[in-house]
A and B are shown apart, each in its own frame.
Chain A
Amino acid sequence: MTSTALSGMMIVAAGLFAIGLFGVLARRGILFQLVALEVALSGPALGFVAAGAYHADPQGQGMFILVLTLAAAEVAVGLALFLRIRRVAGSDDSDAINRLKG
């Protein structure tokens, strides 16, 4: 793998993160924001794996496994919160819960 290829992979990784960021900012439905968060997390994961492959270093894939663990925990808590919010507020719009009370 040449350093040009590494640059290409990093652009793809940054693009994935940027698309995820766009989704989190632009969408209002909580479920869609969670999907966009998954996309955003997969960008850095690709970056770690590409850099690990470039340097032939297992630490890239090690970080990928940690990112995977984080994504699994995040999506479980996020979906539980989503179900809870829909039960309590009766809405799946993240603007509907912008005022917190105790």
Chain B
Amino acid sequence: MSPLLAIYAGAFALIAAALSVTRANAVHALLHLVVALLALSVSFFALGAAFAAVLLIMIYAGAIVVLFVFVVMTLPTAPEAMARERAALNRAWPLPALMAVLVIAPFLFGLGEVAPAAAAPVSAQAVGRLLFGPWALAIELASFLLLAGLIGVRHIGRNDRAPGGRR
């Protein structure tokens, strides 16, 4: 475990995330999002949470970003759309920035008293024991959530105008 590397990678993730939410081009925003997620994964590795780091790469940087890429493929990348996006951001940024600063402000004064640290890093085995032992109900609920998401997406995404399609 190396806290310095964790904070360094975390700072990298912060910069990439800030770039990602301010780009006018969707592809650029996605690429910066991938960089932020990979940096976050390095941070997880440095914290000794290797299982979470691998899951972050596989599911966030893999599956979720691929989902975004599929949608971006259908997006028109007209220069006027990008100019409109940029103009909207230039007009609207001060109040959201104030909100973000207000959210982060309490953390800058420190966490106060925290319990002393334990030493050993957490193994994937321990996480598995937790998930399929005491947290089995939470995993069942998560699978409900995924099933509801699947059915919801199937319902929202159906094509009403297809010939012979039911409404």
A residues touching B (Cβ–Cβ < 8 Å)? 1-3, 5-23, 25-29, 31-32, 34-36, 38-39, 42, 45-46, 49-50, 52-62, 64-66, 68-77, 79-84, 92
Contact = CB atoms under 8 A, between A and B. Distances in A.
B120 A56 contact: yes
A49 B52 contact: yes
B21 A42 contact: no
Given A39-B17, A69-B145, A62 B131 contact: yes
B156 A92 contact: no
B108 interface: yes
A79 B68 contact: yes
A70 B60 CA distance: 11
A39 B117 contact: no
Residue from B10, B37, B47, B56 having most chain A Cβ neighbours under 10 A? B47
Nearest to A69: B142
Given A56-B121, A80-B152, A1 B3 contact: yes
B131 A35 contact: no
Nearest to B145: A73
Contacts of A55: 115, 117-118
30 contacts: A9-B7, A11-B107, A12-B14, A12-B43, A16-B14, A16-B17, A17-B104, A18-B101, A22-B97, A25-B95, A27-B88, A29-B26, A31-B72, A31-B75, A35-B26, A35-B29, A35-B30, A42-B40, A46-B40, A49-B44, A53-B122, A54-B114, A58-B130, A60-B122, A61-B52, A64-B49, A68-B59, A72-B64, A76-B150, A79-B67
